[in-house]
Structure 1
Amino acid sequence: MSLTFSLIAPASFTDPAVLDRAVGPLREFGFDVKFPHTLQAPVRYLAGDTAHRLESLYAAYADPETDAVWAVRGGYGCAHLATEIDWTRLPSKPLIGYSDLSVLLDQCHRHGLPAIHGPVMKEGIKLGSDEARTRDAAERDLNALRGWLNGEAPAPIALTPVARAPEGVIEGPLVGGNLATFASVVGTPLAFRAPPGAIVILEDVGEPYYRLERDLWQLVHSGALDDAAAICLGTFENCTPYGDLKIETIFDTWLAPRDVPLYTGLPIGHGRDNLPWRYGSAARIVDGQLRFSN
């Protein structure tokens, strides 16, 4: 089934040549994309000033000929929009993206609108990669995105428990996203807080380990994770290690005193793998697997 997407650039500027390279592979895959008349009107490192990006968002949602709204990339700037959006103007059309989009996905969920944490549009380039593993991962992730939009959840994912894996089933809403993004909005009206019993997914890119710990400490002590039932780690791409310290050790240091189960192994993040998931949907951790519900 062919799908049509409204494209938005809600955050950082993207080289138009990169977007052009993604269009062909996506259309061959059955994903048609609609560029607005003016997708970007660059201001500094942003795709446009707040007013431009906000009006582009409204126009994308209002287009009756598209199935979803798809961010071309993340970067920086989504929080600017989230405090200005008139949520009553947005119909029930899914928003797709990740990274800096995490704040918009979380706000969509809070306002009763559908959202999918998944690849951004420019990653359609991966479909034409010279590396078979990259192409295969892109096809898997985009097929899963197609599935979510058609009401079909992906297959379960095997997890690796780090500590305190409880017996029985953990079940709750699936939320989360980019660690640094959520840390950056602590103390603002956009502050992330896990709903009671939530399974929280966290990932990041390009951060030294000490910054990851700083961001995690900030989330923990802001109360953002007080009601979480479990934390599941995606990938932490190009994050600068400290000696032989493991990323899960940092998380366990701050989660262990709170008796929050911790898992690793999710193919979700800024690397080759970025399996999409529906924000706020019911999920279960059972028999060492994360199981999705549509």
Structure 2
Amino acid sequence: MRKLPKRLKKGDLVGVIAPSSPPDQESLQRALPFLEELGLTIKLGKSVSATHGYLAGTDEERLADLHAMFEDPEVSGIFCAGGGYGAARLADKIDYAMIKENPKVFWGYSDISFLHTAIGEYADLVTFHGPMLASDVGKPEFHERSGRMFGQLFKPFELHYTEEVAPLETIIGGIVQGAMVGGNLSLIRSAIGTKFDLDVKGKILLIEDIDKEPYEVDEILNQMRMSRKFDEAAGIVIGDFKNAEPKKRKASLTMDQVFNDYFGALKIPVVKGFKIGHCEPHFSVPLGTLARLDGDAKTLTILPGVE
């Protein structure tokens, strides 16, 4: 298993960065008191207020922010302000040896999924797939349960996902254990054929996405099928697919049909309906720790992501 970052504690300094697109400033300002209520003090990176077209500053500026937060011995954790696009542009420029020497909490999702994969693979560090400040925490619909998920950063405990959170549906039953990896489906696909191609061998694959019509999800899953991702994975956790209704095409398969086409004949546990992704509540999970997916009982158990 990957290296666990140290748990956060009250009084810790945490960094806020924007590795992707410029965050909404009003939403970000509404979100910062949430971290303060957790007992944390905040160091804002330069990228959170920078703009370079659809990016939160140039690649060099965003990379410098990321490196500075990991290198700063006073910073105990790093939270991403938002997603959008651009994190992948940094991946082949990151100093992973430095991150490996300075392991700390790293939290985000969506476009940040590319960095989760890269940091996990090349810095051997457990990272966290969870709601971001401007994108989620600062929004009126931010759910209390989503907020409680930050508690896993302060005390090591197992996460138990049951249907008490939201209804689940088993596509393929069975029980499997393996490291949880993955995140945003589009970002997983974008890494195929690169040095950041997600290694799913013997692991539980998490997928989620937003604003993808069924045919677009179909296209991505087909590429993953042909690259043997589903043959290599030990199990599949299907998270939230927000705004997945057909728009361009009147004649369409449903998302359920698409999932059944690709997963229905597999010989590994596959469960869908997890509130993980662009949704409220958002069940945050560590990536790289051991997880147990029970397709029969419809439960997911994940070991702690901090030490």
TM-score, normalising length: structure 1: 0.88
Q: Which residue is equivalent to 1:194? A: 200
In the TM superposition, residue 161 of structure 1 has moved relative to its aligned partner by 3.9
Q: Paired residue for 1:142?
A: 147
- The worse-fitting range, judged by mean Cα deviation, of 21-30 and 113-122 is 21-30
Q: Against the structure 1 CA distance between its residues 37 and 199, is the aligned structure 2 distance closer, same or farther, given a 3 Å change threshold? A: closer
Instruction: Give CA deviations for 1:130-177 in whole Å, capped at 9, x if unaligned.
Output: xxxx45x3x3223222224422233333373433312xx311111110
1:285 is aligned to 2:274: no
**1:248 counterpart SS class:** helix
Give 1:163's match in structure 2, choosing from 165, 171, 190. 171
What letter corresponds to residue 124 of structure 1 in structure 2? V
SS of residue paired to 1:236: strand
Count of paired positions? 283
Letter of the 2:286 counterpart: R
Name the structure 1 match of 2:52: 43
Counterpart position of 2:104: 93
Cα deviation code 1:228-282 (max 9, x no counterpart): 1211111111122366844232122122344343211211111212111110111
Q: Distance in 2 between matches of 1:247 and 1:208?
A: 8
Deviation at 1:124, TM superposition (A): 2.1
RMSD: 2.1
Q: Which residue number corresponds to residue 124 of structure 1?
A: 137
- Cα distance between partner residues in 2 of 1:83 and 1:145: 29
Deviates more, 1:273-282 or 1:26-35: 26-35
- Counterpart of 2:274 (choices 252, 255, 266) is 266
- The equivalent residue for 2:80 is 71
SS of residue matched to 2:128: strand
Give the match's secondary structure for 1:163: strand
Give the Cα–Cα distance (whole angstroms) in 1 for the partners of residues 41 and 28 of structure 2: 13
Amino acid in the other structure paired with 1:189? K
Report the equivalent of 1:225. 230
In 2, distance between residues paired with 1:187 and 1:174? 21
1:180 is the counterpart of 2:191 = no
- The C-alpha deviation readout for 1:76-135, integer Å capped at 9, x for no partner, is 111111111111111111211000111111112112112011111222224xx3xxxx45
Per the TM alignment, residue 7 of structure 1 is displaced from its structure 2 partner at its CA by 0.9
The alpha-carbon deviation at position 202 of structure 1 amounts to 0.7
Q: 1:70: Cα distance to partner? A: 0.8
Cα distance, 1:268–1:86 mapped onto 2, change above 3 Å: same
DSSP-derived class of the 2:220 partner: helix
Quote the Cα distance in structure 1 between the aligned partners of 2:157 and 2:275.
18
The amino acid across from 2:261 in the alignment is T
1:38 Cα deviation from its structure 2 partner: 5.4
Higher relative contact order (CA 8 A, sep 6+): 2
After TM superposition, which residue ranges in structure 1, 4 or more long, deviate above 6 angstroms? none
Asked if the contact 1:69/1:94 (under 8 Å) is kept, the reply is yes
Cα distance in 1, alignment partners of residues 138 and 57 from structure 2: 23
Q: Compute the displacement of 1:37 (Å).
A: 4.7
Q: Percent identity?
A: 29
Give the secondary-structure state (helix, strand or coil) at the position aligned to 1:226.
helix
Residue type of the partner of 1:18?
Answer: S
TM-score by structure 2 length?
A: 0.85
Partner-residue secondary structure (3-state), 2:107: strand
Q: For the Cα contact (< 8 Å) 1:185–1:192, is it kept in 2?
A: yes
Q: Which letter maps to 1:191?
A: D
> Comparing 234-243 with 11-20, which one deviates more in the overlay?
234-243
> 2:6 matched to which residue of 1?
none
User: Which residue identity is paired with 1:237?
Assistant: K
More displaced 10-residue stretch of structure 1: 227-236 or 31-40: 31-40
